[in-house]
Amino acid sequence: MLLAIIIAMGAATILQNAYIPKFGLDLAGGTTVTLTPQTLDQQAPPEESLNRAVNIIRDRVNGTGISDAQVAKSGSNILIQIPGAGQEQAEKLVTTAELRFRQVLAIASAQEAPAPLPSDAPSGSPAATPAGTPAASAEPSASPAGRALAEALTAPSPSASAPAEPSASASPGAEPSPLVTTQASTPPTDDPLAGQDLSGIDPAVMQEFRDLKCSATDFGQGKQDDPDKQYAACDTNGQIKYILDKAAVKGTELAGASAATDPTTGEWIVQVDFKSAGATQFADVTRRITTLPQPRNQLATVLDGAVIVAPTINEAIPGGRARISGGFTQVTATELADQLKYGALPLKFITSSVVSVSSTLGADQLRGGLISGAIGLVIVMLYLLLYYRGLGLVGIASLGVATVVTYLSVTVLSENAGFRLSLPHIIGLVVSIGITADSFIVFFERMRDEMKEGRRSLRAAVEVAWRRARRTILVADAVMFIAAVVLYFLAVGDVAGFAFAMGLTTAIDVVVVFLFTKPLMSLVARTKFFAKGHKLSGLDAERMARSESSTQTMQEA
């Protein structure tokens, strides 16, 4: 069985060409950034918000093409480890997820066979009205297929199911703010750009738009967009794709966003406020596009390269304040407001520390770790040979098998489970050499005890000693494994890495002792060299007598 395990892991290593495990930041070099959340009441942030921030940052960093970046919580902080990245690049990755407000130039379904939509907007479609003016509810009269696609195209956020019929009126005493509603249409044709106004669109962007499939690998969260160029993008759920103009307003001009209910209709809306320069830019773009036909009267909000909402602008929006409506729930309105206000992060973070590790230092650490491991392994082998002589060869063979299984496990985990070998892992692996040797010594000593004074033959002693020794081995390894598990889940960073390596090698120790050391000892017990007690076997009568005499002396003392 052990041979089958080794062959399977070896085959996986060869087929995946993964002969060398991937290294962590401390060995390969890179940068560690620690983000500290800031709350208004100076209290610890909610766990849910921290988890959301971790997921968003992980998508953002990995979406830039950097593989194996590690993003994890460290208490109330977020620890970001980016192997191979310099300090400037790492800081840019975690701080420049900027919002863009872009005019929509073209739009289409990202599906292979989009359902047909009427070329004109359905009767009763949403229309923006000045604050304080009642708006009639919308009752689209399109066909079921058309309504289905219209619902997909007008979804305000990934988690919103379908747009409700918006209506609005100003609340008493509220500052007037124009209404923005979501609306889109797309022509029923194989060419997603057929029938649309293509004037002013870069041909290269048009081709990119036609090729865009909106799969996870095609666009994904974290795609970097140049604000000074036109851009082909998808919405956050991969259902719709857009051609977007140059950024009209950047996210740095956003002063804030909040979720609220309309006091008249009770529907959930998102209130958006701009800084002075942003207010002017937003007023200019909304004034310019409000009279244009669909879809050029839509203004998309782009975050990390994906469109999170693309509402229709039905009138100019001066004053630096606007509101977005269209089928929001409290959850989806709050989520969109958080995305707008924090650049997708539900909390405000400051960069509390940035630590860079050079690859040269990592290479030195790796070399030192390997040398220390080799020295430890050689010392243990010498001890086994000097003390147990021929019997020590069984222990050395077991250590060799344990080393092979450990190395293959590390390479397989590195290639398939995102495991990266770091210095704490190496320390854990080196320490485990002694833990593994302890199991062999317990077995050997039990066996020698059974053979003293000729009470049992070697073959009988092996079986009896194994029944007693395995309980001791299992208890010792269980205690070590439980300690490793507890340490892994309660600790973070380097300590957790050490605990993982210790737990891994403890499990391997059990496998090797049960599937290799015991069967091998049963085989060698049949040979004359060991069964007859050769002087170099470590089981000769003189040596056993000395061992017994030493034991008696210790007991008398």
pLDDT at 28: 74
DSSP state of 222: T
Could you tell me if residue 112 is inside a domain?
yes
pLDDT at 359: 66
Full domain range(s) for residue 66: 30-95
Q: Are 397 and 524 within 8 A, CB to CB?
A: no
Q: 186: closest CA among 227, 226, 239?
A: 239
pLDDT at 60: 66
Same-domain check for residues 141 and 212: yes
pLDDT at 94: 65
pLDDT at 350: 80
Same-domain check for residues 243 and 120: yes
Could you tell me if residue 507 is inside a domain?
yes
**In this structure, what are the phi and psi dihedrals at residue 266, rounded to the nearest 5 degrees?**
80, 0
Same-domain check for residues 336 and 296: yes
**In this structure, what are the phi and psi dihedrals at residue 484, rounded to the nearest 5 degrees?**
-65, -40
Could you tell me if residue 16 is inside a domain?
no
pLDDT at 202: 92
Placement of tokens 């620690």 in the chain: 34
Same-domain check for residues 332 and 427: no
Which residue positions in the chain have pLDDT lower than 70? 40, 59-60, 62-69, 84-98, 112-189, 216-225, 343-345, 359-362, 453-456, 492-493, 541-557
Domain edge (last residue) among 309, 344, 379: 344
The Cα 176–Cα 402 span in angstroms is 73
Cα distances (angstroms) measured from residue 440 to each of 267, 371, 388, 510 = 71, 24, 11, 11
Same-domain check for residues 548 and 440: yes
Same-domain check for residues 66 and 105: no
pTM (two decimals): 0.53
Same-domain check for residues 189 and 314: yes
Same-domain check for residues 284 and 432: no
Could you tell me if residue 427 is inside a domain?
yes
pLDDT at 297: 92
pLDDT at 236: 79
Could you tell me if residue 20 is inside a domain?
no
The tally of CA atoms less than 13 A away on the side-chain side of residue 27 is: 19
Same-domain check for residues 398 and 311: no
The angle that helices 458-490 and 423-451 make with each other, rounded to 10 degrees, is: 150
pLDDT at 187: 44
- Buried/exposed 447-477: b ≥16 CB within 10 Å, e otherwise: bbbbbeeeebebeebbebbbeebbeebeebb
Domain edge (last residue) among 95, 127, 144: 95
The number of domains in the chain is: 3
